[in-house]
Amino acid sequence: MSTLSLSQYLCREQQLHDLDPVLSRLIVSVSEACKTISFKVRNGALAGVLGMAGSENVQGEDQKKLDIISNDIFVEAVALSGSVCGMVSEEIPEVIPVPEDLPIGPYLICFDPLDGSSNIDINVSIGSIFSVLPAVRPKREPVAEDFLMPGTKQVAAGYCMYGPQTQLVLTFGRGVVMFTLDPTTGTFMLTAEDVRVDRSAKEFAINCSNMRHWEDPVKRYVAELLEGKTGVRGKDFNMRWVAAMVAEVHRILQRGGIFMYPRDHRDLTKPGKLRLMYEANPMSMLMENAGAAATNGHQRILDIVPEKIHQRVAVFLGAADEVERVTSYHAE
């Protein structure tokens, strides 16, 4: 099969849809970072990248060696692209500036360099997630406030999944495309275009070990799914939980379903576990571009105006009918 490489695809987007060449350069740089991370992941213990780093991130979560290695790879590749004036990473509390000796560009980027960290050491799928925003006033040292715009402003979003294959999934707001890394040439090749998610679903993903802490609308929704054919839904549902958001979103893009990480009663000051700016927003942009939906149970995720760069949010995303249903239960 002859198909386009990522670079050829980006050239085509520049010709057909006026894609900004600077944004295109940023995506190439992100893809280079993902490729490097992919090689580290593949080598695992052979590259000495497994295990704990002995430090904590801003969320108070223990960092793995690969969290830190992936962060450094992302920061360096993006800084060298000359296309951003600042970065936000899950692993770093403050905004990351571009080093003095490198040029800046008109974009801001937020990323989760290594999503699904608990899967690293057991050789299960993990990924990287990124969200690109326009810098309203590009400047050398942007501050956190410069990043605080709703997800509707994203000009590009995507993720790379390190699974049996390495796949880069991307949107510029004109549908969703997928690339597969050819391990023999080291090139990302276009393998799916115009990815669509069915409105209805037969599969759901939620960490049921938290069930006793959920709010009533979530308890009701999941109880109805579990009743299957004999309950109000009149059909059986299957369940999956990979514990890496990238892998759950990837499955939904390919085969449908709904993914949920609700807020719960354990700590009402924490609106969920997932982070808005580098997990929920980019994944919501991908979902909407594939005909699916994403809310926090009350409103569209992409409409939320962030107050903090590391803000958390409840997430319900995937098949539009299911997301609408669980969201409507929150309104009752």
- Binding interface with ligand F6P (CB under 6 A): 115-116, 118, 207, 243-245, 261, 273-274, 279
- Alpha-carbon dihedral of residues 257, 259, 260, 261, nearest 10 degrees? 170
Size of the site for Mn ion (CB under 5 A): 2
Q: Which residues fall within 8 angstroms of residue 238, CB to CB, at 6 or more apart?
A: 202, 203, 204
Angle in degrees, CA 140, 278, 292, rounded to 5: 135
**Nearest residue to ligand F6P on Cβ basis:** 245
Residue 179 contact among ligand F6P, Mn ion, none, beta carbon within 5 to 8 Å by kind: none
Is the CB of 89 or the CB of 171 nearer to Mn ion? 89
Binding of residue 20 to Mn ion (CB under 5 A): no
114 is in an annotated binding site: yes
Q: Please tell me whether 116 is known to bind a ligand.
A: yes
Residue 168, marked binder:
no
Residue 322 binds: one of ligand F6P, Mn ion, none (C-beta under 5 to 8 A by kind):
none
- Binding-site partner at residue 312 among Mn ion, ligand F6P, none, CB < 5 to 8 Å by type: none
End-to-end CA distance of the chain, in Å?
51
Question: Residue 224 annotated as binding?
Answer: no
> Scanning residues 113 to 132, which ones bind Mn ion (CB under 5 A)?
115
Q: Minimum distance between the CB of residue 245 and ligand F6P, rounded to whole angstroms?
A: 3
* Segment 191 to 230, residues that bind Mn ion, using CB under 5 A: none
Is 40 annotated in a binding site? The answer is: no
Interaction between residue 91 and Mn ion (CB under 5 A): no
Cα–Cα distance measured from residue 79 to residue 167, given in angstroms and rounded to the nearest whole number = 23
Least distance (Å) between residue 146 CB and ligand F6P:
24
DSSP character string of 57-121: -TTSPEEEHHHHHHHHHHHHHHHHTT-EEEEEETT-SSPEEPPTTS---SEEEEEEEEE-GGGGG
Q: How buried is 103 (Cβ within 10 angstroms: 0-12 exposed, 13-18 middle, 19+ buried)? A: exposed
Binding residues: 90, 112, 114-118, 207, 273, 279
